[in-house]
Amino acid sequence: MALIRLEGLSVFGHHGARPYEKEAGQRLEVDLELEPTDDRAESSDRLADAVDYDALYRTVREVVEDKSFHLLEALAAATAETILERFDVRRVKVRFAKQNLGWTTGGRAVIEVVRERRA
């Protein structure tokens, strides 16, 4: 079965454990990996049988822009759970990365969560 990956989505939200992070906000990079519940789209070649990429992106933006979390772990979990609720997928992996860490050596923090549909 095909895996769907959306990579390098750029979103802006007000998340963080420190007040200045929430006040200023920050740009986050998001990668998604989804496993559909079936392979209908592969054989039908019909958009109606596929996972809607635009709706996925809107869902990610909605969670990131409309909510506020202290931790990226909680943001990633909420995003994954919302995707499972709204889309016909059996498994979703959500990866958030942020670069504005304030470290003189650079670097970035990356959080990844996986959620699966319960039978």
Q: How many CB atoms within 10 Å of residue 90? A: 14
23: nearest Cα among 31, 14, 11, 32:
14
Q: Which of 22, 67, 93, 98 is catalytic?
A: 98
Catalytic annotation present for 98: yes
Give residue for tokens 């997928």: 89
Phi, psi dihedral angles at 69 (to 5 degrees): -125, 150
Catalytic positions: 98
